[in-house]
Structure 1
Amino acid sequence: MALRSTGFGLMTLICLASGQAASVSAEETAEIAPPYLMIRSLQTIQDKVINGDLDSVDMQRYLLEEIDKRLRAIDMAVFDDPRNVDAALIYAMSGGNPETLDILAERDVEGNFDNRVTSILRRYLSGRGATALKQLQEVVPEYRNSRIGPYLELIGANALMEKETDAALKFFDWARAEAPGTIIEEAALRRSLGITSAKGDTARALPFARRYARRFMNSPYASQFADIFVSLAIDHKNALPPDEIKAVLSLIERKRQREIYLRLGRRAAIDGNKPLTDFASKEARRLSSAEDAGQLALAELYSGIVNIPSDGINQVLEKLAEIPDKSLSPKDRFLRDAARIVAEEVVKEPGEDSLRQVERVMVDKEYRDMMSERVVKASEEALAETLPSTQNLPEETRKQALDSRIDEVEDFVSVGRSKLKDIDTLLSTGSN
C-alpha cells in the first residue's frame, strides 16, 4: 500500500495551495489530478502534521476542501479505476465531509464501491458505529493489506473500544503494522495506550508509551498522550513506579519531559500522593534552569501543597507567598490560594465563635461559598485562556480540541469542589 506522495501528487498539492503553477492554474491542476494522487498528497500532509509541521495544518484543511469539491463534481467513470474508489473512501476516513460519501454511494450504479464498506462508513461517520460492530469484524479482515486496510482497522478499533477492548487492540496492532510512521500509527498507539492504561494493564501499556514517546511527541495530539500517561501513574497506584516513569520520559526532549513531570506533580498534589508529588517536583526542578522561573514556581507550588500537613505551616505559607501570579495559570493560582487558605486556617487562633458548635454551620457555609467562587472563577479564566489557540486548526480538529479543553475545565471544577470536603476535614482536625 502506498502511503507516501509521488512527485506528481506533491506538485498537485503545491499548485492547489499556492493558487498558481508554471503552466496550469490551480483549477486546471485540480481538474487533471485524479483522486488517488490528491489523496496521496493529503496523506503526506497529515503525516507532516503529526511529525510537528504545524504549518501544514492550513494546507491540510485546504486540500480537504479541494478534494471535496472534486469528488462532488466528478464523472463517476473515474471510479472504474479501483485506486480512485479507495481514494474516495480514504478521504471519508481522513476527516472529509461524510455527506460526500453519501452522494458517491447513491450515484454508484456500476457497483464500483463495496456496499458493505460504504454502509459501515456511513453509519460510523454519522455516529452510529455501534450498529456496525458485527459487520466490521467480518469485513475488516478481508481488506487487510489493501490500500484502505489500515483505515478500516482504525475505524473498526474505534468502534470496538468501549465494548470489546481486546478485539480493538488487535485491530489497532494491525493498523500500526500496515501504516508505520503515519497518522494512523500515531492514533493507534495513542488509543491503545488509553485502553490499556484505563485497565491498569501496565505490562501492555508501557510498550505503547515507549513507542509513542520515541516517535510522536511532536504531534499536536501529544498532550493527550501526556494526560493518559499521567492518569496511569495516578489512578493505578504502584502500577507505575518512579523508575518506570523516568525510563519512559527519558526518551523525550527535556522541555517535554518537564511539562509532563509538572502535570504529574499537579495531579499527585491534588490526589494527596506525597511520594509521587515529591518525585515529580524534583524531576521538574532538575530539568529546569534558572531562567525557567515559571516551571520552578510550579514545582514549588505542588511540593508546598502536598507538604502542608507535614512541613512547618509558616514555612509553607512563606513559600506560597513567594510565587507570583504571572508564573501561574488560573487553575494553578486557584490551587495556590486554596493551599494558602488551608494553611492560614490551620494556624489561626480560635475565636469565640469557632468554639461554639451552633455557629460552625455558618462558618463552613461561608468557607464553602468562598472556595466555590474561586473554583468557578478559575475555570472561567482557564477556559478563556485556552480557546483562542485553536483558531488555526481544521474545523473537526478544532471542535475536538475545544471539547477536550472544555472537558478539562469541567473536570477541574469537579475536582476542586470534591476537595472542599477534604479541606473542611483538615480544618476541623486543625481546630480541635
Structure 2
Amino acid sequence: MTRLRVPAGRIGISLCLAICLAFPAVAADENNGQAAPPAEATASADSHGGPTGPTNVIEPLPVMPHGLPVELVRTLQLLQDRIARGSTQAHLAQRQLLTHIERKLIESEPETWADVANLRAAVAFGLAGGGPGVLRHILATGQVTEAETPLAQGALAYLEGREKDARAKLGGIDARTMPASLSGQLALTQSALLVRDAPIRSLELLDLARLLAPGTLVEEGALRRQIFVVAQGGSAARFEALSIQYLRRFRRSVYAGNFRQRFAAALTRLNFDNDRTRVASLERMLEEIEPESRRDLYLLVARAALEQGRRETALFAAERAAGLAGSDIHAAAQARLYQGAALIVAEGRFEEGREALRGLDRAALAAGDLELLDAALSAANQIRGPLPSVIEPPATEAPPRRAVPEPPAIGRARDALARAERALAP
C-alpha cells in the first residue's frame, strides 16, 4: 500500500488524530488483524526463516507529489472507509476532520485551484460531506479553468439543492474519466439526481459507483440505495442478491441501522402467507447475519408490518423472532406483543391473541411498545366486548293541536250553501 506523505506541520493536531485512526486499521486489515512486519525483517529472511545474504535494493516507483488538497481529501476518505467497516471512533472524528479540511482549503492560495487535481479534490470533499462553502469560495477566486467549471458549478448546485442546474452541469460528465478519489462519488451523485425521473439509469450509475470505488463508504452507500430502488418495483431476485451482498460485506457499517429500518419496511411488501418461495428467500438473506441481529431484524419487520396493516407478514416475522429470543425477556415480550396484535384480527385466533396480550409483562416493554399494547387491547375489547344495553327514549306527551283559523272565503261558501238548502226545502 502506498503511504501518503502528509506534512504534519501544515495539517495540525486534528488531522494527525484522524490519520492515527485511519492507518492502523488499514494495516491490520491487510494482515488479518496482525501488525505488518517491518520491511527489514521481511527482506532479511529466506523462505526457511533464516538470514540471507545481501539483497538488491528495489527502488520504489516514482510517485507524482500531490498538493495539500489532494492529501487532505484522501485522508478524509480513508477515515470514511473505516466508517463503512463499523468504526464509531472514525464516525465521531469525521466532523472535526471536515471542519479542519474546510478551513485549510479556504485558506489556500487562489492559484491552488488552477491545478486540476486540487480542484477535483475540492469537489470530492464537497460531495463527501464537506458542504458547499469551499466550492463557493473556489469559484469566486476566478482561478478554475474553463474545462473544469461545469464540474465545480454542477457539484455546487447539487449541494445547494438546485437539482435542475446540477443535472444540466453534471449530466454530460463521464465519471470514469475522473480520478479514483472522485469517480465513484460523482457517479453516486449523478444517480441521486436521476432516481425519480430515470430510475433505470440511476441504477446503472449506482452499479458504476460500486465498480469505481469498491470497499469504500461510496460503495456502501451505493449498495444501500440500490437495494431500496429495486425494492420499489424491481426484480425480487435482484433485491435478494443485493441484500445478501450488503449483509455479508457491510452489516457492521455505522449506517447499517438505517439500512435495517428501510430493509424491514421493504420486506413488509412481501406476502409470506402463501408464497413459500419468498419465505425461503428471506431466510437465505437473514442467514448472513448473526442470530441476535437476525432476531432484531425480524422484530423490525413485524412492527413495520403491523403499522402497514399486513397481518400475515407481521405474524410470520414475530414467530421467527420469538424462536430466536432465547433468554432475552425484552425481545421475547416484543415478539409476543407483535404476534398477539396480529392474531386478534386473524380468523379463528382471536382468543389466542387476546390472551397473549393480557399475559405480557409491561415492565419488559419500551414506551413505544406499551402504546401499541394499549391500542391492541383496546381494539380487542371493541371486537369482543359486551354490547351496550338498548335505552328507550323517554315518553313525551303529544303537543296540543293548534287551531287553524278559517279563511273568510270558506265561511261565505258555507253560508251560501245553507241558503241554498233552505230554498230547496219543502
The aligned residue for residue 280 of structure 1 is 317
Alpha-carbon contact 2:15-2:100 (below 8 Å) kept: no
Q: Are residues 1:215 and 2:249 paired?
A: yes
Aligned-residue offset at 1:218? 1.5
The aligned residue for residue 6 of structure 1 is 3
The aligned residue for residue 122 of structure 1 is 156
Alpha-carbon contact 1:140-1:156 (below 8 Å) kept: no
String of CA shifts for 1:109-153, please: whole Å, max 9, x gaps: 362870010111111111012333244331134635653211111
The aligned residue for residue 427 of structure 1 is none
Alpha-carbon contact 1:10-1:41 (below 8 Å) kept: no
Aligned-residue offset at 1:305? 0.9
Q: Cα RMSD (Å) of the superposition?
A: 3.0
User: Identity of paired residues, percent?
Assistant: 25
Tell me which of 127, 149, 152 is aligned to 2:183. 149
Aligned-residue offset at 1:19? 7.5
The aligned residue for residue 293 of structure 1 is 329
Alpha-carbon contact 1:285-1:299 (below 8 Å) kept: yes
Q: Report the Cα distance in structure 2 between the residues aligned to 1:344 and 1:10, rounded to whole angstroms.
A: 71
Q: Are residues 1:97 and 2:128 paired?
A: no
String of CA shifts for 1:234-282, please: whole Å, max 9, x gaps: 2243687111111011111222211110011122334444443332122
Letter of the aligned partner of 2:365 in structure 1? L
Q: Are residues 1:329 and 2:366 paired?
A: yes
Tell me which of 263, 287, 307 is aligned to 2:343. 307
Which stretches of structure 1, 4 residues or longer, exceed 4 Å deviation after superposition? 9-14, 17-21, 311-315
Letter of the aligned partner of 1:91 in structure 2? F
Aligned-residue offset at 1:228? 3.0
- How many residues matched? 342
Q: Report the Cα distance in structure 1 between the residues aligned to 2:196 and 2:176, rounded to whole angstroms.
A: 23
The aligned residue for residue 54 of structure 2 is none
RCO (CA 8 Å, sep 6+): is it higher in 1 or 2? Answer: 1
The aligned residue for residue 243 of structure 1 is 280
Q: Report the Cα distance in structure 2 between the residues aligned to 1:110 and 1:153, rounded to whole angstroms.
A: 22
Q: Report the Cα distance in structure 2 between the residues aligned to 1:145 and 1:237, rounded to whole angstroms.
A: 45
Q: Report the Cα distance in structure 1 between the residues aligned to 2:148 and 2:209, rounded to whole angstroms.
A: 20
Alpha-carbon contact 1:5-1:43 (below 8 Å) kept: no
Q: Are residues 1:168 and 2:202 paired?
A: yes
- Other structure's SS at 1:127 match: coil
Cα distance change on mapping 1:193 and 1:47 into 2, 3 Å: same
Cα distance change on mapping 1:14 and 1:214 into 2, 3 Å: farther
Letter of the aligned partner of 1:137 in structure 2? G
Cα distance change on mapping 1:5 and 1:98 into 2, 3 Å: farther
Q: Report the Cα distance in structure 2 between the residues aligned to 1:319 and 1:84, rounded to whole angstroms.
A: 64
The unaligned stretches of length 5 or more in structure 2 are: 20-65, 394-426
Tell me which of 378, 381, 392 is aligned to 1:344. 381
Q: Report the Cα distance in structure 2 between the residues aligned to 1:33 and 1:260, rounded to whole angstroms.
A: 46
String of CA shifts for 1:274-312, please: whole Å, max 9, x gaps: 44333212221222221x111111110111111114456
Q: Which moved more, 1:302-311 or 1:272-281?
A: 272-281
Aligned-residue offset at 1:318? 3.3
Alpha-carbon contact 1:45-1:56 (below 8 Å) kept: yes
TM normalised by structure 2 equals: 0.73
Aligned-residue offset at 1:7? 4.6
Aligned-residue offset at 1:356? 8.2
Q: Report the Cα distance in structure 2 between the residues aligned to 1:10 and 1:222, rounded to whole angstroms.
A: 34
Cα distance change on mapping 1:256 and 1:323 into 2, 3 Å: same
String of CA shifts for 1:297-331, please: whole Å, max 9, x gaps: 11101111111144564543332233233332333
- Matching of residues 27-426 of structure 1 within 5 Å: 34-79=68-113, 81-109=115-143, 111=145, 114-141=148-175, 143=177, 146-237=180-271, 241-290=278-327, 292-309=328-345, 310=347, 313-353=350-390
Alpha-carbon contact 1:9-1:40 (below 8 Å) kept: no
Query: Larger radius of gyration, structure 1 or 2?
Result: 2
The aligned residue for residue 420 of structure 2 is none
Aligned-residue offset at 1:100? 1.5
Aligned-residue offset at 1:186? 0.8
Q: Which moved more, 1:87-96 or 1:309-318?
A: 309-318
Cα distance change on mapping 1:214 and 1:142 into 2, 3 Å: closer
Letter of the aligned partner of 1:308 in structure 2? I
The unaligned stretches of length 5 or more in structure 1 are: 22-31, 358-432
Cα distance change on mapping 1:9 and 1:265 into 2, 3 Å: farther
Q: Are residues 1:16 and 2:14 paired?
A: yes
Cα distance change on mapping 1:15 and 1:132 into 2, 3 Å: closer
Letter of the aligned partner of 2:373 in structure 1? R
Alpha-carbon contact 2:177-2:183 (below 8 Å) kept: yes
String of CA shifts for 1:403-432, please: whole Å, max 9, x gaps: xxxxxxxxxxxxxxxxxxxxxxxxxxxxxx
Cα distance change on mapping 1:93 and 1:271 into 2, 3 Å: closer
TM normalised by structure 1 equals: 0.72
The aligned residue for residue 404 of structure 1 is none
Alpha-carbon contact 1:6-1:40 (below 8 Å) kept: no
Q: Report the Cα distance in structure 1 between the residues aligned to 2:282 and 2:123, rounded to whole angstroms.
A: 40
